[in-house]
Amino acid sequence: MNIISIILLLWSITSAASAPIAKPSCQENCGGVAIPYPFGIGTSKDCYLDEWFRIDCRHTNSTTSANYSRQVPFLKSVDLELLSISHLDHGVGSGTQSVKVKSPVTFFSCEGKETRQPPNLTGSPFIYSQRDNIFIAVGCDLIASMRSDHGPVASCGSICQNNTDGDNGNCFDSNGCCQGNLQTSIEFPHFSIDEIPSNVSTSDAKGDCKYAFLVDYYWFKNNLTKDMDSVPVVLDWMLNVDKYREIFSEGFREKSDPNRNQSTPFCTSNISDWTTRYNPKALICTCPSGTDGNPYLLQPCEGLGSGVGLLLLLIGAWLVHKIVKKRKIIARKKMFFKRNGGLLLEQQLSSGKVNVDKIKLFNSKELDKSTNNFSIDRILGQGGQGTVYKGMLADGIIVAVKKSKMVDTSMLSEFINEVVILSQINHRNVVQIMGCCLETEVPLLVYEFIPNGTLSQYIQEQIEEFPLTWDIRLQIATEIAGALSYLHSASSFPIYHRDIKSANILLDEKYRAKIADFGTSRSISIDQTHLTTCVHGTFGYLDPEYFQSSQFTEKSDVYSFGVVLVELLTGQKPISAVTCSQEEEYRSLATYFITSMQEDRLFNVVDARVLEEGSETEIQVVANLARRCLNLNGRNRPTMREVTSELEAVQMSRKPPISAEQNSEGVDFVEDDSVGHWDVESLTEVSDSY
């Protein structure tokens, strides 16, 4: 709800509270229509002035559901549905007050339609308003008129062209419809329609359905009347001073009367233009200037200042509530910032060892908007560390927003670690982080958006749009090996990824590989040979030596890469279910691959496309490299730098060699002739206490 709506609501509350409109213990509205005295609801004569002003509150079934009943007010004296009663001060100056009711449409020669003339209001306090109503007739080739007991009041004519049926619902500039202004107000309108002679007409629409009606001009401008049996009509109403003066005699005190309170309503006998014929002695009551209320109750009118004062008080209370709420939100964001590791991040940034320009702190509102409030249809993927959503920032940049799982204090260093490590990496085969948000209940990371999914999808699902040729597999393997070599040998603080797997390798718009998800990564000092931590990783990729000792080394990443290399060779999953002796067991791809090589069955497990496109020598070289990476003794595994060199050699041996030009599959590749550049000299070590 915006502030304008709230102010209007408060104003209605203050108005309702300060200015009663009905007599005590009488119902003030029916079906959402306010009923001020002298009108009144029900059978109690104390609630309305006389039978002319009695309102029946009836229950009718909804047009959309027979089981739904709604209240509808009816002006009982003329049996017309009541739509509204104008503000009682409406008549100040003009001597008129009005109600809006539903009046029947009068049909002529319309099958299934009854010809009903509007009600006769003669002798009542009501009269059809000249000021607010307009006469309308619909149909082709007609002359329509509206008369009263005193003669013609309005008329119009319509001629159709090209057999237009004329039922356009709105007369303004439309064919087959005409309108006429009322010459005077009227008590009993009577409609008639005559057809234009054939020698005048240009259409053959003789005998067609035609209809006429009196209607509220302002309503008719914006609404169609086609297929409607009734339309809104405005009735002016006024009291005869001879009949009602005694009842309202208290209001006829002179303004100078010392016994008269300045907020007391006063009544006068005005003569207005429209009443001279029907009601020459009209009584009207009003509130003094600067006050508001129902003068016909003859109770002191409320000063407008008191209502405004209460309104201002309520607005002030609302503003205070908004300020308090905003402060609570700010305090809550500060609490989340601290809980999500904000102080730890600030400590890292203030150390001078981290490139501050590479870490942007996003606000929660910006990321909520970018992801459509983290809509489920924006999810790109889910993992052990959290859920990743696709988002678009205000400047149109597409990003991936990682919403971490609920964290506790033991996981803060893990999250901040990913922010710090990724912000300092500058390598084309590593996903770049753009910033983070710590003021939400769970921390958020913002990455560059990588559009073509994960490597595991292409290996396991065999996506036809981009088949994994032997050349492409070698290219991806070389790119990932180069990125890991860069991380392991970067500056004085090498980085261990600790969760290398095909699901953490993304492919960009040119299908270049990028390493992602550094949530469990660690940086170590140059003189360290390993990290002692709780075991993290994914089964099927987990280094058995690390699993047993809890000591993670750079060779543990080499082992995980070896599994990815075997995936590229075989197209199989790292862990798969097999049936043995009618029981289902799980098989490790790494173990199965090494056994197959030992039994000289390598080419039985290699993917068919690899066998078709690669030479036996190339396949054997890559397989032997993978076997060395999977050695159970970490010391016997090659370094990632050695792995990169051997893969590059295999690429170079192929004819034609892979270059920056398009390969046979039409995809651009760029030779990885460098491993990128580190932007700072060092990274601070992060606690492993979790």
Of all residues in the chain, what percent are helix, strand and coil, respectively (each to 5)? 30, 25, 45
**Do 642 and 536 reside in the same domain of the chain?**
yes
Instruction: State the CB neighbour count (10 A cutoff) for residue 129.
Output: 23
Supply the range of the domain harboring residue 545: 455-653
Is the per-residue pLDDT at 202 higher than 80? Answer: no
Is 499 tagged catalytic?
yes
What CATH number corresponds to the domain at position 499? Answer: 1.10.510.10
Is the per-residue pLDDT at 464 higher than 80? Answer: no
What mean pLDDT is reported for the chain? Answer: 79
Residues 6+ apart with CB under 8 A from 387: 379, 381, 402, 403
* Candidate from 258-267, 424-433, 521-530 with smallest mean pLDDT: 521-530
**Do 523 and 597 reside in the same domain of the chain?**
yes
Q: Within 289-341, where are the H helices?
A: 304-339
**Do 489 and 546 reside in the same domain of the chain?**
yes
**Do 363 and 470 reside in the same domain of the chain?**
no
Decide if 6 is inside a domain.
Answer: no
Q: What is the pLDDT of residue 641?
A: 94
Decide if 178 is inside a domain.
Answer: no
Q: Among 216, 499, 557, 672, which one carries the catalytic annotation?
A: 499
Spatial distance between the Cα atoms of 127 and 129, rounded to a whole number of angstroms: 6
Task: Give the tens place of pLDDT for each residue, 233-274.
Answer: 999 998 888 888 888 888 876 655 655 666 788 888 765 544
Split at pLDDT 50, 70, 90, the class of 554 is confident
**Do 612 and 466 reside in the same domain of the chain?**
yes
- Predicted structure pTM score: 0.51
Split at pLDDT 50, 70, 90, the class of 409 is low
Highest mean pLDDT among 355-364, 484-493, 538-547: 538-547
**Do 460 and 428 reside in the same domain of the chain?**
no
**Do 365 and 510 reside in the same domain of the chain?**
no
- Across-strand partners of 556? none
Q: What is the pLDDT of residue 204?
A: 59
Are the beta carbons of 578 and 584 closer than 8 angstroms? yes
Highest mean pLDDT among 103-117, 334-348, 608-622: 608-622
Decide if 312 is inside a domain.
Answer: no
Total domains in the chain come to 4
What CATH number corresponds to the domain at position 425? Answer: 3.30.200.20
Q: What is the pLDDT of residue 499?
A: 87
Decide if 132 is inside a domain.
Answer: no
**Do 350 and 261 reside in the same domain of the chain?**
no
Is the per-residue pLDDT at 618 higher than 90? Answer: yes
**Do 575 and 528 reside in the same domain of the chain?**
yes
Does 183 or 172 have the greater pLDDT score?
A: 183
**Do 595 and 510 reside in the same domain of the chain?**
yes
**Do 617 and 469 reside in the same domain of the chain?**
yes
